[in-house]
Amino acid sequence: MTSALDRALVEEAARKSALVWVRGPADAPARALWHVWHDGAVWIVGGPDEQPLDGLGLAAGARATVTCRSKDKGGRLVVWPAEVTEPEPGGDAWSAAVAELAGKRLNGRDSADATAARWRTSCRVLRLAPAGAPEQRPGAMPDGPQAAPPRPSPALTRTPVPSGLPVRRRRRR
């Protein structure tokens, strides 16, 4: 059971943050997703021409971990478990959430009505409701660094500096 203070912290952090980091039950790194806080939960939309949700393993009844950052400092503020539900497209809960999502959608190519119609046919709208006490919060943060190591990529290989680039000279004392 969560306390009223924990619920208020989760809600306030989710309302003020433009992005949340979501890690699904799949063994994949957390992904930054834009969202809205509506009806006591985080709502996200993903699919073609929207943010990708593939590889996260977010399905109805699954558990996810949501991380919210601090608006003023930018660091991790609260990490909480969430239960994933996928409401029926066109239902009352779905329609209310889509109205909120479409209103917050930046750089949308369609009108709000066209966006809702496109999301109904080709996208997934998910509700991530808090499902327990926060795992991390102020006063209960883990010790030590929490940075993940870089993922393997050919872009991370080091090569010598090209000879045409200017070189900074070290100051000698």
- pLDDT string in tens for the chain (173-residue length): 478 998 999 999 999 988 999 998 877 788 999 999 999 999 999 988 889 988 888 989 999 999 999 888 878 889 999 999 999 998 999 899 998 888 888 777 777 778 888 889 999 999 999 998 899 888 888 888 877 777 777 776 677 777 777 766 666 66
Q: Could you give the CA distance from residue 85 to residue 166 in angstroms, rounded to a whole number?
A: 55
User: What was the pLDDT predicted at 169?
Assistant: 64
User: What was the pLDDT predicted at 111?
Assistant: 78
User: What was the pLDDT predicted at 97?
Assistant: 92
Burial class (CB in 10 A: 0-12, 13-18, 19+), 149: exposed
User: What was the pLDDT predicted at 1?
Assistant: 45
**Cβ neighbours around 135 below 10 Å, total:** 15
Residue-range domain boundaries for the chain: 4-139
Contact between 22 and 64 (Cβ < 8 Å) = yes
Element (H, E) at 77: strand 76-85
User: What was the pLDDT predicted at 130?
Assistant: 94
Q: Give the gyration radius of the chain's Cα atoms.
A: 20
User: What was the pLDDT predicted at 128?
Assistant: 96
User: What was the pLDDT predicted at 7?
Assistant: 92
Burial class (CB in 10 A: 0-12, 13-18, 19+), 115: buried
Element (H, E) at 7: helix 4-16
User: What was the pLDDT predicted at 138?
Assistant: 86
Token reading at 129: 């409701």
Is the domain 4-139 a CATH 3.40.50.2300 member?
no
Contact between 69 and 76 (Cβ < 8 Å) = yes
